[in-house]
Structure 1
């Protein structure tokens, strides 16, 4: 790992987007931090000067939901390859899920992931502790400074990470020392729908029915249970990848941080693919947009965008989950669920700005500020003097996603053939330029995320 200090850098003539505002300013980076933000900053001897030419400068995005497949599934992706794709996409920090092989169910497995990431991660990193039917003592013993949260697959995973035992769930929601992060789908409901389609189609179920099999009813039932448990124990709950309009009524409308300084206890998240795809796209993209929870209807997509704008949904993430091209080309029943998304996620989100549905400040709030606030991330997620210099420069030049551009190990993207109107021109991680708009620069510069708890 190269521990050299980043070169002092001055970005001039930028359009900064931060904390609900867009304004023209210069920004200086020194020693890996934002040293100054202001107008008319003068270059110092030996300082690298970058003229932003009026382009938007954002804090680096914080993706609180990725699957980077290491350890155990490195043939799909690993920390190095997937974090490289993230950095190219302006995602300067990530929080990775515990359903690896072996799963991350105790402090030893957690620290093993941190060791793997050191010197190899292009973006800053943190890892969740998972929940199983038998690791409640590991959850109780968790140092809250070592993980962003505890992940619960509420009836929608495999092996002992599927948690549907009422006593186990009650103990987790009562005793977890961090926010609880949930995947909410009800397995019995899904199994019943799958049986109906198997009876009609056998093993040749068309992928177009994925959203009917992984149904909205399965999502609603499980989300209601999670919220009930959180209220019973006054737990901090974050419900991942909301995919239906129906679930939105279960959540509080309003900013994550209220006017009195208090924070919502129960929060919601959606993902970029739910903003760009709907059930009509199965006909052309098939298993390449098969994911769990499933992409639903166009009315759901519209409602989710409105819920981001209206502060019903607090966070935007990716649920990046790569599988090989060969795996995705199997029939519906054999093709795994999950999409590689980090590299083009910010460009996809900014399409909502071009369409007039969201402002750039709202994208930054949901994709950078809110994850930092929700998980108590230290000194990241904002353009503030003294904070870590994780930055993204946006260029409003259209480009079309091609397979040859993909940096994820799986080598494909569900966005192939899509033209986006904004691209990532530069990414800085801890003051180091790591992406220049065309290629990775230097070496991995990610650091372990710290939590103010």
Structure 2
């Protein structure tokens, strides 16, 4: 019989409130939330005095590299790092090898995850210039959405045929997530800097190559197309202040047809960090200026931006330490994203209620995830306990990613995740993992 748990005396954070209480977990679900819940003999008590209890983060954008790129990462290693970092569910992108651009290849990824993922999982189907028929077979009940790359930062999945793009936007009712950077602008900028520096372009020019103009041009076009066709559009990883003005905050989230995400690295780093971090903070879209970072925070706090995600995209250090044109973009983040945002809570940048809204509640609402993202009776017990006064420093010894490094190395956090429950199972307990149990496939109320 499955172990039941009673979390006692937690500071529960849910739906814009923080209140002291107990949570009883029976089976996979939250059975009861209240004060002074009396345990039965078979219930295991977890003392949460002085700790926050938050719903597990739903990370709507990760690259776990399986199949085909497993020298960098795999679903087992990265989902393990995710639960240690308070992420209990993830949505993974299609640009693996082979790419998830047929229903059969998508099913293969679900099969791998069912055997190896410690967190709950879903995958996006990848749109290309020539797979519309296959794309339309995607089941909205058990697949997170459609992913389109409108900038070719990640292999040959660039959708640059405008006629095809309009057909995709017009033909599917599924949520379409997009990577927005204008390819023509980027190629032109790249050639200019290569003419000057060859392959060894100083990385500080990355945000000028993958520029504000490239981002805005692509995002504004995608939004224009969504308005024209009525498509349900979600724009990934905004990186510029200028783009934030394309989004609305005057209607409830549930009524928005066009939503936006920002990633942890664009909220944490700026172009001033390139001198020290180099290609280790080379992402697409690029980390840009302090003005951009400030603008992203402002838009997140006033609800023009709806979700915080990671875009976790590991590469080996050997790959990252190449010259600019050969160093791939992306970095590992799932273990450190929640602590990084909670550090900003401590600094007074945002409230813990707002952090939970952006990391847990809103992804559940936007993707219509079934019974997750909230601390509610009858919902899956995907729960995270945080000691808000426990200091630790990120270093190579405590990094769990298969690639073995983190852009946060050397950062001291003053909060630490102590327990993570996934579907009512205590999967992470003060550094100890339960490796016997696996996560579940996410389902969607569509």
Q: Same fold (TM over 0.5)?
A: yes
Identify if the C-alpha distance between structure 1 residues 354 and 255 changes in structure 2 by more than 3 Å, giving closer, same or farther: farther
Alignment pair present for 1:151 and 2:143: no
> Does the 8 Å CA contact 2:399/2:406 hold for their aligned counterparts?
yes
Match of 1:110 among 106, 109, 113: 106
CA distance in 1, matches of 2:250, 2:423: 32
CA distance in 2, matches of 1:305, 1:445: 35
**TM (normalized to structure 2)?**
0.98
Superposed CA offset, 1:91-128 (max 9, x none): 00000000001100121111111100113101000000
Alignment pair present for 1:430 and 2:423: yes
Alignment pair present for 1:284 and 2:276: yes
Identify if the C-alpha distance between structure 1 residues 256 and 90 changes in structure 2 by more than 3 Å, giving closer, same or farther: farther
> Does the 8 Å CA contact 1:88/1:424 hold for their aligned counterparts?
yes
Instruction: Show the counterpart of 2:441.
Output: 448
> Does the 8 Å CA contact 2:17/2:353 hold for their aligned counterparts?
yes
CA distance in 2, matches of 1:203, 1:107: 38
State the shift of 1:138 in Å. Answer: 1.0
CA distance in 1, matches of 2:331, 2:154: 18
CA distance in 1, matches of 2:344, 2:298: 11
Match of 1:60 among 49, 53, 56: 56
Instruction: Show the counterpart of 2:410.
Output: 417
> Does the 8 Å CA contact 2:79/2:118 hold for their aligned counterparts?
yes
> Does the 8 Å CA contact 2:120/2:440 hold for their aligned counterparts?
yes
CA distance in 1, matches of 2:261, 2:100: 22
Instruction: Show the counterpart of 1:402.
Output: 395
Alignment pair present for 1:383 and 2:406: no
Match of 1:188 among 184, 187, 192: 184
State the shift of 1:263 in Å. Answer: 2.1
Alignment pair present for 1:228 and 2:224: yes
Instruction: Show the counterpart of 1:369.
Output: 361
CA distance in 2, matches of 1:347, 1:251: 27
CA distance in 2, matches of 1:274, 1:394: 23
> Does the 8 Å CA contact 1:26/1:37 hold for their aligned counterparts?
yes
Match of 2:307 among 302, 315, 320: 315
Match of 1:45 among 41, 45, 49: 41
Q: How does 1:3-22 map to 2 (within 5 A)?
A: 6-22=2-18
Superposed CA offset, 1:133-187 (max 9, x none): 1100011222211311100001334554100101110011001231000000001
Name the Cα RMSD after superposition: 1.1
**TM (normalized to structure 1)?**
0.96
Q: How does 1:257-268 map to 2 (within 5 A)?
A: 257=253, 262-268=254-260
CA distance in 1, matches of 2:101, 2:434: 35
State the shift of 1:322 in Å. Answer: 0.3
CA distance in 2, matches of 1:113, 1:159: 18
Q: How does 1:89-238 map to 2 (within 5 A)?
A: 89-157=85-153, 160-238=156-234
Alignment pair present for 1:244 and 2:240: yes
Alignment pair present for 1:324 and 2:316: yes
Superposed CA offset, 1:310-359 (max 9, x none): 10100000000000011011111111000100001000111211111111
CA distance in 2, matches of 1:400, 1:160: 38
Instruction: Show the counterpart of 1:302.
Output: 294
Match of 2:335 among 343, 347, 356: 343
State the shift of 1:371 in Å. Answer: 0.6
CA distance in 1, matches of 2:421, 2:169: 37
Superposed CA offset, 1:184-218 (max 9, x none): 00011011111111121122210111111110100
Match of 1:359 among 348, 351, 358: 351
Superposed CA offset, 1:374-396 (max 9, x none): 01100000000000000000012
> Does the 8 Å CA contact 2:173/2:232 hold for their aligned counterparts?
no
Matched position secondary structure for 2:432: coil
Superposed CA offset, 1:400-423 (max 9, x none): 101111111101000000011111
Identify if the C-alpha distance between structure 1 residues 168 and 159 changes in structure 2 by more than 3 Å, giving closer, same or farther: farther
CA distance in 2, matches of 1:104, 1:428: 29
Identify if the C-alpha distance between structure 1 residues 15 and 158 changes in structure 2 by more than 3 Å, giving closer, same or farther: closer
